[in-house]
Amino acid sequence: MKKRYRIALIMLCMIMCICGCSSGADTNPEKESAATDKEKESADVKSKKEKAYQKKLDMIEPSAYDNVMGLNLKKGTTISVIGKAEDVPYWDEVKKGAEQAVKDMNANLGYEGKEQVKMTYSAPATPDDVDEQVNILDEELARYPEAVAIAIVDVKSCEVQFDLAAESDIPVVAFDSGSDYQGLMASVSTDNRASAQEAAQKMAGLMDEKGEVILFIQDSKSQSANDRENAFKEEIANNYPEISVVETYHMDQLSVMQEMIAAERNGKPWNEGEDQEAGPDEAESELPEQEESETGGTEESEQGQSGSGEIEQEQPEDNENRSTEQGQSGEEDQEEVTADMISEEDVMDYILEKHPDAAGIYATNGDAVRLALETLERNKKKAHVVGYDANASELEALKEGKIDALVLQNPFGMGYAAVIASARAALSMGNEAVVDTGYTWLTKKNLEDENIQKLLYN
């Protein structure tokens, strides 16, 4: 009996152990499942945050410039980024990209507080102000950052500062718009020539490969503007013989156009770079020589002054005529049109009046597109418009059919890659000479596409 009790007790213990294990097994999977769900939720949130800008980084080539891996910057490193304008959607997006690159660096390196890598972003208050940008560059170099990234407004404006940066071992990276300066560590930008060639092809298709085109170029000084202008013209000249580029307006040359139009309205010849007011003075200075010839030379003039009746009779008449001419000239001077009387709208209207049959307008940035649209609307004209950028007003005009196509650049990726290139230069890691941040085309048809929406910055 004792033996049977012992066996029964052992079996009871075994059953209790099995039940306990079974109960534990039932509880643990639930805990593990809950933990797994939380991990997945956390991963999804992280993934969504990455997707917010990852599409923009995917456009960058080479791919070494779309991430922060291997950039072991020392604690407290400072990078200066200098743009072309403040409070402009495109440049705000550049700034966001640069800030994100620095944020990713610090997260990767585990830097916090004062240890963090820092980025300062500066730009002229007035877009494309050469003098102000040079002053900003001087101030940034005086702070001795580990690297500088700059969108160069004027290809010739910063060479002295770049020499000083080289002497101080501060590497310089160009972005958006570079220059031919040999000491630049890298150039980070849209492929402006390729995009301009495509713009010419699209414009030609819209115009059935014939007609007149007007060009609105954002400036005459930056490399990006020059590339967009020249590549467009070359593509048209080489492949579309029935299309003519009839006018090119550079937005930083408004004063030149005002002077030219004033001279034309006053019926005067105009040569760029010459003082238009010199004309009448030069004409007056030639008058005595002409009189000298007509009166037979110096001798006869002296004789007339000494008492020759014929000359004395002509002289008063000559003086009277000259006085009348001078009076008329004075009245004309008072009625003359001056350059400051001519507005930018007048200049734009003048261009359109000269070319009433223009079938297309090519505009090389957001401001140029705006100017083109305002001019067409004011003059109640229609033309195909192909341009760059994608601010809110441009997107609305695209939806309404006022714009045919836009080059959508990647300013976020440009800011990001500019900081990566700067970090590589500070670490003496070497850089690609050219980093292409990519572009795509916007039309009314693809505007609502999910992939396009991820690239917009409004």
* The amino acid at 320: E
Across the range 380-394, mean pLDDT stands at 96
Q: State residue 457's pLDDT score.
A: 87
CA distance 51 to 176: 24
Say whether domain 63-190+410-438 belongs to CATH 3.40.50.2300.
Answer: yes
Instruction: Indicate the SS3 state at residue 419.
Output: helix
State residue 313's pLDDT score. 42
Indicate the pLDDT class of residue 309, thresholds 50, 70 and 90. Answer: very low
Residues 372 and 362 sit within 8 Å (Cβ to Cβ):
no
pLDDT score of 362 more than 60: yes
Query: In this predicted model, which residue has the larger pLDDT, 412 or 30?
Result: 412
Residue 195 corresponds to which tokens in the numbers above? 């995009």
Locate the domains of the chain by residue range.
Answer: 63-190+410-438, 192-260+342-408
Q: Which CATH homologous superfamily contains domain 192-260+342-408?
A: Response regulator (3.40.50.2300)
pTM: predicted TM-score of the whole model, two decimal places:
0.77
The C-alpha angle with vertex 227 and arms to 421 and 185, in degrees rounded to 5, equals: 20
Q: What values do phi and psi take at 45, rounded to 5?
A: -60, -45
In angstroms, the CA 102 to CA 189 distance is 19
Q: Is the pLDDT of residue 295 over 70?
A: no
Contact 148, 170 (CB under 8 A): yes
> In whole numbers, what is the pLDDT of the chain averaged over residues?
84
Q: Where are the alpha helices (DSSP H) in 266-381?
A: 278-294, 298-306, 309-335, 344-354, 366-378
Q: What is the mean pLDDT of residues 78-87?
A: 96
Q: What is the pLDDT confidence band of residue 7, given thresholds at 50, 70 and 90?
A: low
**Residues 339, 259 contacting (CB under 8 angstroms):** yes
Segment 222-243 shows an average pLDDT of: 98
Evaluate whether 63-190+410-438 and 192-260+342-408 have a shared fold.
yes
Check residue 280 and give its pLDDT. Answer: 39
pLDDT of amino acid 36: 54
Please give the single-letter amino acid code of residue 262: A
The model's confidence at residue 285, banded by pLDDT at 50, 70 and 90, is: very low
**Using CA atoms, how far apart are residues 147 and 426, in angstroms rounded to an integer?**
6
**Cα–Cα distance for residue pair 66/153, rounded to 1 Å:** 25
What backbone phi and psi angles, to 5 degrees, belong to 85?
A: -160, 155
Asked if pLDDT for residue 29 goes beyond 80, the answer is no
326 or 408, which is more confident: 408
**pLDDT score of 458:** 67
Distance CA 275, CA 139 (A): 37
Higher pLDDT, 318 or 145: 145
Read off the pLDDT of each residue in 49-61 and give the average, rounded to a whole number: 86
Per-residue pLDDT tens digits for 320-350: 444 445 445 444 455 789 999 999 999 999 9
Contacts of 159 (CB under 8 A, 6+ apart): 179, 181
Report for 11-20, 128-137, 321-330: range of highest mean pLDDT? 128-137
Side-chain-facing half-sphere of 125: CA atoms under 13 Å: 0
Asked if pLDDT for residue 143 goes beyond 50, the answer is: yes
44 pLDDT exceeds 80?
Answer: no
